[in-house]
Amino acid sequence: MAFLLTTGLTVSDYCKNGGVLEFELDALEVGGNSNEFETFHSLKYKLHTGFELPPTVIIHDPEILALIMASCDSWTKFHAYTYARKGSIVYKRLHSGLYNARCEWN
């Protein structure tokens, strides 16, 4: 379960007004129930410096976004919402093996 690190801004405020939130989460949340992304050649050297895993462009289809918001887990919903607002999520692997996720949209 993603743990909110940011103080002074709630998820609700973020969804309404934008801003920056940081979370700590495990690899399975980052990779959608798989940590296979950690072995991808294009990512394995960026794990500690920062990388994104943006969804496909269909996220901007209102019907697809509504389906995600109705049926997915909370992190997937948050991820989809951030990108639908033209935001970004940058992940960085921590020494603990967990990930920091810096989420931003304005």
Domain residue limits, the chain = 3-105
- In three-state secondary structure terms, 29 is helix
pLDDT of residue 49: 97
- Are 2 and 23 spatial neighbours (Cβ–Cβ below 8 Å)? yes
pLDDT of residue 1: 75
What's phi and psi for 67, nearest 5 deg? -65, -45
In this prediction the pTM is 0.91
Q: Return the structure tokens found at 13.
A: 């405020």
pLDDT, tens digit (0-9, with 9 covering 90-100), for 13-57: 999 999 999 999 999 999 888 999 999 999 999 999 999 998 888
**Whether the predicted pLDDT of 87 surpasses 90:** yes
In eight-state DSSP terms, residue 8 is S
